[in-house]
Structure 1
Amino acid sequence: MMIPRKKTALAAALALALGGALGGCASTGAAAGAEPMSARAASLPDSKRFDLTEPSYDLFRHKKLVNTTVQQSFGFDIPNKRLFVAQLKNGSSSDANGDLAISRLDFSGNLKGHMYLKGFGHGVSIGVEPSGTASYLWVEVDPEGSSARGTRLARFKFVDGQTLTNTSSALTKYTPVAGSTGVSATIDPVNKRLAMRYKTSGWRIAVYDLADVKAKRYEPLVDVAQPSQNGETFQGYALYGRYFYTLYGTAYSDDNPVPGNSRLSTIDLNTGQRVAGPTLTKAGGTLTHREPEGLAIFRTDGGQMRLFIGFASGAQGDRRSNLFYKNVLIG
């Protein structure tokens, strides 16, 4: 059932009354002290979408990050011309503990700074929020499971050289859907919206106005089930307008030779249906290893929109970062 997004006492009362009838959303009848979640809305404004069949172009290849593990995700601070890449921190226990390394790069791929995060998650996706000359990151936090996945979101200022734990006072934590797991986020930098991917009985996608999440008003603009991708390995996502882009695939191997199995799809968040893909991408086809890792949205100074696709390359113990993009919009 869907209810129009209205910040009124009536809407709040209806949300409390309906509770679990809003399939997939956490109950609004939460315990005392919990942050409430409101009823979902009907739709996002219309927008264009990226043509996944068009060629991809290089931003950079074979760039070093602060650690030597595979990159997991990335995002741009467009006004301040910064790029942030998340990866598991070096060390055999990092995946189990949810320990991450964040590299700050310029748009040429030069390493300019780093942070370490202890007890956060797997880095499936990160959001980047410019605020004046500062960059704030949105990262999963408070992980659970043998391969740590976040249960909440954390927002914090990027400070070069700093190490944060998941109990640091520098964090602000958010729980848009209580009791969910596998929580991660990305930000649409043009429309100032946050998309959260999370799991209850299955994987779901919720989109919020970024300002609402920061104010802990959890009133989703949309909340839909993520369409199945037939068991393929999920590797990242991005949000632009009404469309949600997903990346699936694995590294080259004897069972996955060139051109590989890296595929992109487009989901219309107003219907919850896939409207394009899965489309094979051959971006960076000559890379060694070539493991798909991460998607992000970017707008150039001239207004061109780009969907960036990340790949890890290089030998084990010396993984490198590679970014490519598509720039043709349709619709």
Structure 2
Amino acid sequence: MIVRHPSRRAVLRGGLIATIGAIPLVGATAARAHVADSEQFVLDGAGGNPILKKSLHANWVMQSFAYDGTNGHVYFTQSNPDSTNGDIWITQTDLAGNETGAMALHGFGHGVAIAAEPYNGAVYLWTEWEASASGFGTKIGRFPFANGTSLEADDGSIQDRTPSIGETMINPQPAIDPVSGHLLVRYKVAADMPRIVAFDLSDARAGRLTTDDRLTERALPSRGSWGDANPFQGYTAYGRYAYLLEGPVSTTSYITTIDLNDTGQSIVVDRYPTTAGQSLPGREPQGMAIWATSSGPRLAFGFHSNTGGVRQASVFYKSDLT
């Protein structure tokens, strides 16, 4: 039987969304609960679809995306479905998904996650970096977006922003909460043992990413046979809560809510099923991000689709909070 620790808000709402499947609660350690309280996205609430079936720079598979709310851009990562050499295309678009620029990254990784940071007149991207033989990144790099350029993994301008918290860090993946000003890193310490750690973005920008710099760190649910059938496809965080995206091609996708201040592998909302974009051909969930707007934050989640060999990107969002 699954063990869940609902948030105070979830209790006041009358309980949790019905459980779909079970998550083993093993291999967890206590968190340092220092993330300020915040509202939580309502997964069955109102939302929208600002980007629908947009072709990106290369006819490669969309993997993740991030919003630059300051300049009105979205940054998508794309990986080559026929290669594991760690090459990524970055496509910059407007808020409707129309291409406005592109950049090539060689030997970086798979593009599982990306973060965009407007800072001092430039936009810095955070991605996995230094791909292993598997094609996935082994570190996290920070570098400015430069339209029309190519960046090699050994370029000296790339800032190493891999946390150093005394643990094995397998396939680290960055995300930025632009509202709270946090950097999040999802990683694994061993097979099927994912974790998440949070830092103040100002500390992370300066390279202060040690154990003493953490805001919080905690285990994420082990995925077991569920993970074999429903691949991890992205994550993000807003304030106290992180959100995970899972699911295979052409069927139901799931969003899970995690309380960053809780412990063990507990969850708040268990694998909420979403049929957003269900008519997309070859629909596959790919990426999550927080979109900061003048009307409030939005929980955005994306899908790759394939129309007659043309690969496309779509983005949906939830905007209700409780």
Higher relative contact order structure (alpha carbons within 8 Å, sequence separation ≥ 6): 2
Q: Which amino acid aligns with 1:217?
A: R
- Paired residue for 2:274? 281
Please give the secondary structure, in 2, of the residue aligned with 1:227: coil
1:312 to 272, 294, 304: 304
Q: Deviations over 1:104-140 (max 9, x none)?
A: 0001111010000011111111111011432110001
- Paired residue for 2:85? 97
| Structure 1 position 316, deviation (Å) | 6.2
1:142 to 130, 133, 136: 130
1:242 to 240, 243, 266: 240
1:112 to 89, 95, 100: 100
User: Structure 1 residues 112, 183: closer, same or farther in 2, change over 3 A?
Assistant: same
Q: Which amino acid aligns with 2:48?
A: Y
Please give the secondary structure, in 2, of the residue aligned with 1:211: helix
Unpaired stretches in structure 2, ≥5 consecutive residues:
1-26
Please give the secondary structure, in 2, of the residue aligned with 1:75: strand
Q: Which amino acid aligns with 2:186?
A: R
Equivalent positions of 1:152-231 (< 5 A) are 152-177=139-164, 179-201=168-190, 202-218=193-209, 219-229=213-223, 230-231=226-227
Q: CA RMSD in A?
A: 1.9
- Paired residue for 1:66? 57
- Paired residue for 1:328? 320
Please give the secondary structure, in 2, of the residue aligned with 1:314: strand
The answer to whether the 8 A contact 2:47-2:320 is kept is no
| Structure 1 position 215, deviation (Å) | 2.0
1:57 partnered with 2:57:
no
Q: Which amino acid aligns with 1:208?
A: F
Q: Rg bigger for which structure?
A: 1
For 2:304 and 2:252, the matched residues in 1 are separated by: 14
Please give the secondary structure, in 1, of the residue aligned with 2:300: strand
For 1:43 and 1:316, the matched residues in 2 are separated by: 49
Please give the secondary structure, in 2, of the residue aligned with 1:68: coil
User: Structure 1 residues 68, 49: closer, same or farther in 2, change over 3 A?
Assistant: same
Q: Deviations over 1:251-288 (max 9, x none)?
A: 11xxxxxxx22000100010142101311111112111
Q: Deviations over 1:175-231 (max 9, x none)?
A: 213641111100000111000011113211000111112222221111111113432
Q: TM-score, normalised by structure 2?
A: 0.83
The answer to whether the 8 A contact 1:238-1:297 is kept is yes
Unpaired stretches in structure 1, ≥5 consecutive residues:
1-22, 26-38, 253-259
Q: Which amino acid aligns with 2:319?
A: N
For 1:119 and 1:67, the matched residues in 2 are separated by: 17
For 2:45 and 2:106, the matched residues in 1 are separated by: 39
- Paired residue for 1:251? 249
For 1:180 and 1:298, the matched residues in 2 are separated by: 27
The answer to whether the 8 A contact 2:141-2:162 is kept is no
- Paired residue for 1:292? 285
The answer to whether the 8 A contact 1:149-1:181 is kept is no
> May I ask how many residue pairs the two structures share in their alignment?
283
Q: TM-score, normalised by structure 1?
A: 0.81
- Paired residue for 2:3? none
Aligned structure 1 segments of 4 or more residues deviating by more than 6 angstroms: none
